């Protein structure tokens, strides 16, 4: 029997690690929603990113090339989503579901056709910081994760800085709150939204890669199983602010970690209910949060110059 | 201004063109994988329509798509995006199965309609929760219905592996998550020797009923009015919130019925494989695709559901013939969704142009109130 201290430490460390895919996807989604586009294709982009990264890493043995492949795939899928929502004014909730089904099917198809069997890759290596990684408790909590974990957390201040301290952030927020005013001041709404949605696609794909070659080192059909949709919900949870999204991601990953440990420890709670918990939590949280926060005024509204 | 028949036919070209484009892209993917697209699609067509049995299977697969799709027509017409067909199907099926197993010796003529009613109530509740959350708590229904799907899947996995498991399976090591079989008297009549069951005819009847309801009754009119312009509807005295809930409740009820039909018409028990779409076969999502291709029209959804039913059946034949995983169909469905919603843009542009030409050609008609299309 492990001591409770060790178990708690394990839960906390996996909680910190499991927030990674949420953070990549949700930071991208924050940017695109702040500019007025609801990208519901996140789940599909994550799956394609997860597959591309895994496939290339598996064939070449290089995690770096795998990440590059994920970036490329995310770029393409993000551009497609941007084109459909910015230029063709497609209903965003529905086109996103289309991209989800596309990514779900294509990643599965390619996996079966190109690889076929489940195998593992070396993937992104774990960090080793001299001294720090060897610290008791703190070392396991903070300093022995794979490099993609640190990238995810670094994104939070970065996105915060871009949104709040740069002219780009001002343009993004203007496009999402009052596109007509922004347009009359010479901001190209189309360019801003293309940029955020495409970047969102890249980050979602990296989120998928952080799962396939970062955390698990394998690829499986539908391996994200709803993670991408929760990432979209996290943006609502965080009231469209990076720090709020970070707190949401940590809460959810802790619930996930708890759920894994409930299964590992064989506690008398049916595993199905443990798996269900994050989804119930999402709904409860949406009810509570939406009462006090207001989404960007132009969210899901295509921009048409009058 | 009434739309002419010719204009309506032209309008049909947009979704059809969009679907065709999806298949062209699918062909490119096939070619890139070193498979002949012609051979693959031919195998698919043969598998879906080649024999009487194949055709019957296609209609069997089309039935839940049509039922879910009809619900989607109602919801989307009311401007409510219901992505929760999967969960609503599952909950409907769970309740209907529980009823059939709990009351094993009732006459079929009594139990089957009762099971349908129970399934519809189950689906209605599962859809109604996001409906209430949207109308009264302003919670995005897309997200809440997706979460309700995941919750229903876990509920099903728990029940079919635990309290509701087939006693025979409970003894075995394999423990397939399935319930015991229903009483033979509860089976929906079949067109022997195929598996085509009464549920298919029922779904078609319901398509006409939903059409009539949406366009010929006050309730249907108000749902469409709310979807068309909620603000104007509020001024006209329509209780918008209640109609939002109603749209999701009805949508859920139809999906719940789809779940019941799968149990009472196809498998005669509830069975899954542990994956999220193990019971539904993805019908909750594919029904959305069918409704979109059917232009959110209940009658248009009939041929669209048959098309996607054919894809699902044909995909298995294709997998056997040219070794292309049937996941291709999921990807194709996704493309169809993206292209059909995008094609709206071109359709609206053409409509605007046509309207301009008409107003130039004829003197202005007397003003009428706005009417939802």
Note the pLDDT tens digit of each residue in B117-156: 999 999 999 999 999 999 999 898 988 999 999 999 999 9
Average pLDDT over residues A97-121: 92
What was the ipTM of the complex prediction? 0.92
Q: Is B160 on the interface with A (CB under 8 A)?
A: no
Token match 């969102």: residue?
A: A200
Give the model's pLDDT for residue A9: 87
Give the model's pLDDT for residue A258: 85
Is pLDDT at B29 greater than 50 in this prediction? yes
Write out pLDDT tens, residues B39-84. Answer: 999 999 999 999 999 999 999 999 999 999 999 999 999 999 999 9
- Split at pLDDT 50, 70, 90, the class of B372 is low
Write out pLDDT tens, residues A2-45. Answer: 677 888 888 899 899 999 999 999 999 999 999 999 999 999 99
Instruction: Give the residue, A270 or A26, on which the prediction is more confident.
Output: A26
Average pLDDT over residues A53-65: 95
Contacts of B73 in chain A (CB under 8 A): none
List CB contacts of A215: < 8 A, sequence separation 6 or more.
Answer: A17, A18, A20, A21, A146
Which member of B147, B275, B333 has the closest CB to residue A279? B147
Which member of B143, B325, B337 has the closest CB to residue A101? B337
Structure tokens at B183: 């009483």
Average pLDDT over residues A187-197: 96
Contacts of B154 in chain A (CB under 8 A): 272-273, 275-276, 279
Structure tokens at B63: 């039935």
Is pLDDT at B213 greater than 90 in this prediction? yes
Average pLDDT over residues A165-183: 95
- The mean of the pLDDT values for chain B is 91
Q: Is B144 on the interface with A (CB under 8 A)?
A: yes
Give the model's pLDDT for residue B176: 87
Average pLDDT over residues B284-296: 93
Are B22 and B339 a contacting pair, CB within 8 Å?
yes
Write out pLDDT tens, residues B230-243. Answer: 889 999 889 999 99
CATH code of A4-290, in short, is 1.10.3470
- The mean of the pLDDT values for chain A is 91
* B327–chain A nearest CA distance, Å: 5
Distance CA B33, CA B27 (A): 10
Token match 């990264």: residue?
A: A53
Structure tokens at A34: 């702040």
- Split at pLDDT 50, 70, 90, the class of B1 is very low
Tell me which residue of B236, B259, B269, B265 sits closest to B160, measured CA to CA. Answer: B269
Token match 């009613």: residue?
A: B117
Average pLDDT over residues A269-279: 84
Is pLDDT at B193 greater than 60 in this prediction? yes
To test the contact with chain B by mutation, choose from A40, A92, A276 the residue with the greatest count of B C-beta atoms within 10 A, namely: A276
Is pLDDT at B365 greater than 60 in this prediction? no
DSSP state of A120: B
Q: Is B139 on the interface with A (CB under 8 A)?
A: yes
DSSP state of A143: S
Average pLDDT over residues A207-226: 93
DSSP state of B282: T
Give the model's pLDDT for residue A263: 74
Cα angle A226, A231, A235 (rounded to 5 degrees) comes to 150
Q: Could B276 and A222 be called an inter-chain contact, meaning their C-beta atoms sit closer than 8 Å?
A: yes
Please count the residue pairs, one from chain A and one from chain B, whose beta carbons lie less than 8 angstroms apart. Answer: 145
Percent of all residues in chain A with a pLDDT value above 90, rounded to a whole number: 65
To test the contact with chain B by mutation, choose from A73, A78, A97 the residue with the greatest count of B C-beta atoms within 10 A, namely: A97
Helix, strand, or coil (residue B103): coil
Q: Is B311 on the interface with A (CB under 8 A)?
A: no
Distance CA B250, CA B256 (A): 10
Q: Which of A90-99, A218-227, B95-104 has the highest mean pLDDT?
A: B95-104
Q: What is the pTM of this model?
A: 0.91
- Split at pLDDT 50, 70, 90, the class of B364 is low
Which member of B139, B147, B341 has the closest CB to residue A290? B139
To test the contact with chain B by mutation, choose from A279, A284, A301, A303 the residue with the greatest count of B C-beta atoms within 10 A, namely: A279
Cα angle B252, B237, B373 (rounded to 5 degrees) comes to 60
Is pLDDT at A139 greater than 90 in this prediction? no
């Amino acid at each position: 029997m492990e001591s409770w201290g060790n178990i708690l430490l394990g839960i906390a460390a996996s909680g910190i690690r499991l927030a990674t895919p949420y953070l990549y996807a949700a930071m991208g989604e924050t940017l695109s929603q702040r500019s007025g586009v609801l990208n519901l294709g996140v789940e599909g982009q994550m799956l394609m990113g997860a597959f591309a990264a895994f496939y290339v890493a598996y064939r070449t043995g290089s995690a770096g090339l795998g990440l590059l492949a994920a970036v490329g795939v995310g770029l393409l899928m993000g551009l497609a989503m941007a084109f459909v929502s910015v230029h063709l004014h497609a209903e965003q909730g529905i086109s996103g579901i289309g991209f989800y089904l596309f990514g779900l099917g294509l990643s599965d198809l390619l996996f079966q056709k190109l690889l076929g069997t489940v195998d593992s890759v070396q993937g992104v290596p774990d960090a080793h910081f001299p001294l720090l990684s060897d610290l008791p408790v703190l070392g396991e909590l903070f300093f022995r994760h794979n490099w993609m974990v640190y990238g995810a957390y670094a994104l939070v201040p970065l996105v915060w800085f871009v949104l709040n301290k740069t002219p780009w952030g001002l343009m993004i927020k203007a496009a999402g709150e009052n596109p007509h005013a922004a347009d009359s001041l010479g901001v190209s709404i189309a360019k801003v939204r293309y940029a955020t949605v495409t970047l969102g696609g890249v980050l979602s794909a990296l989120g998928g890669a952080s799962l396939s070659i970062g955390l698990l080192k394998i690829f499986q059909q539908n391996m994200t199983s709803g993670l991408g949709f929760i990432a979209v919900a996290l943006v609502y949870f965080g009231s469209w602010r990076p720090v709020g999204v970070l707190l949401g991601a940590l809460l959810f990953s802790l619930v996930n970690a708890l759920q894994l440990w409930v299964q590992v420890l064989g506690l008398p709670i049916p595993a199905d209910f443990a798996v269900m918990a994050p989804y119930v939590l999402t709904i409860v949280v949406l009810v509570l949060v939406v009462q006090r926060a207001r989404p960007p005024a132009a969210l899901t509204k295509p921009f048409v110059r009058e | 201004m009434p739309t002419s028949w010719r204009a309506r036919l032209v309008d049909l070209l947009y979704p059809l063109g969009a679907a065709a484009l999806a298949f062209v892209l699918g062909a490119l993917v096939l070619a890139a994988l070193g498979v002949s697209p012609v051979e693959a699609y031919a195998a698919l067509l043969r598998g879906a329509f080649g024999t009487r049995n194949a055709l019957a299977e296609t209609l069997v697969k089309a039935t839940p798509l049509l039922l879910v799709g009809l619900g989607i027509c109602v919801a989307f017409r009311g401007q409510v995006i219901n992505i929760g067909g999967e969960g609503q199907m599952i909950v409907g099926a769970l309740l209907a199965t529980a009823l059939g197993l709990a009351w094993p010796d009732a006459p079929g003529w009594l139990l089957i309609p009762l099971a349908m009613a129970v399934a519809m109530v189950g689906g209605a509740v599962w859809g109604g929760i996001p409906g209430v959350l949207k109308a009264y708590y302003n919670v995005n229904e897309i997200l809440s219905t997706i979460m309700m799907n995941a919750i229903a899947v876990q509920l099903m996995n728990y029940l079919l592996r635990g309290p509701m498991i087939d006693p025979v399976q409970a003894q075995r090591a394999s423990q397939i998550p399935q319930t015991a079989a229903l009483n033979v008297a509860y089976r929906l009549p079949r067109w022997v020797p195929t598996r085509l069951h009464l549920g298919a005819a029922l779904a078609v009847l319901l398509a006409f009923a939903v059409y009539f309801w949406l366009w010929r009754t006050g309730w249907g009119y108000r749902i469409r009015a709310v979807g068309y312009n909620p603000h104007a509807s509020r001024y006209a005295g329509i209780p918008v919130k209640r109609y939002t809930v109603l749209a999701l409740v009805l949508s859920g009820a139809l999906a719940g019925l789809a779940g019941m039909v799968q149990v009472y018409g196809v498998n005669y028990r509830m069975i899954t494989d542990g994956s999220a779409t193990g019971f539904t076969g993805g019908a909750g999502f594919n029904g959305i695709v069918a409704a979109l291709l059917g232009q959110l029209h209940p009658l248009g959804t009939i041929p669209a559901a048959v098309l996607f039913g054919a894809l699902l059946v044909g995909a298995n034949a294709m997998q056997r013939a040219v070794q292309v995983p049937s996941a291709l169909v999921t990807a194709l469905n996704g493309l169809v969704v993206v292209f059909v919603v995008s094609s709206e843009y071109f359709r609206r542009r053409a409509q605007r142009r046509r309207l301009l030409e008409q107003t130039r050609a004829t003197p202005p008609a007397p003003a009428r109130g706005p009417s939802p299309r």
